[in-house]
Chains A and B, each alone.
Chain A
Amino acid sequence: ETGVTQSPTHLIKTRGQQVTLRCSSQSGHNTVSWYQQALGQGPQFIFQYYREEENGRGNFPPRFSGLQFPNYSSELNVNALELDDSALYLCASSLQGGVTEAFFGQGTRLTVV
């Protein structure tokens, strides 16, 4: 059992709206990464947070933003939702600077209509 939990599990939003997804990291892990998995694709790196600061970003526009809290939990915010934002959003926690087997949550399925 990974201990990484995400909420909500499913979400439907309208184009143009904003959404916040949440992630609780595994105990002892200080790093959270967010990935977007579109249908039929592998997960794509959005960004990573370490000690409450963004520590690396993938090829996603600024309307994708995040936060990490002192307890290492994290939020992913997406503004001005587009239809192509429909995907499974995965959160992964790991221990920074060590051998990395990132542990993933079950994901949040976002549908934009």
Chain B
Amino acid sequence: DQQVKQNSPSLSVQEGRISILNCDYTNSMFDYFLWYKKYPAEGPTFLISISSIKDKNEDGRFTVFLNKSAKHLSLHIVPSQPGDSAVYFCAAREGSYNTDKLIFGTGTRLQVFP
């Protein structure tokens, strides 16, 4: 059973516009959420994270929003750039002091066109 879901396999956005990537989860025990970006032939690269006690975290062009009641998080990229074209994975950490187990979604492929 998929505990972390990314229902949009792909997203196409024009350069300069906002990209919004969505993620839903089912386990209310998740205490930390992360977004990773992955280019072909490379490992995932950490992008931004948010603790379950917050509802927003911002880092430059990237903002993650968390809605705990809806078990939903989203990643906003503003403005989108062609270099942002990649697969984006949402991941959740199962809460435990000494466990770093991440549960990943299936990814959303973002394409930013000129």
Mark A residues whose CB is within 8 Å of B: 2, 4, 6, 31, 33, 35, 40-45, 48, 50, 55-56, 58, 90, 92, 94, 96-97, 99-107
Complexed CA–CA distance, A1 and B45 (Å): 10
The residues of B that contact A58 with a CB separation of less than 8 Å are 101
Task: Mark contacts of B40-55 with chain A using CB atoms, 8 A cut-off: 1 yes-contact digit, 0 otherwise.
Answer: 0111111001000000
- Is B34 a contact partner of A43 (Cβ separation < 8 A)? no
In the bound complex, what is the Cα–Cα distance between A104 and B42 (angstroms)?
Answer: 9
Least CB distance, B32 to chain A, in whole angstroms: 7
Using a Cβ–Cβ cut-off of 8 Å, how many residues does chain B contribute to the interface with A? Answer: 26
Question: In the complex, A96 Cα to B88 Cα: how many Å?
Answer: 25
> Are A90's CB and B46's CB within 8 A?
no
**Contact between B42 and A31, CB atoms less than 8 A apart:** no
A42 contacts B100, CB within 8 Å?
no
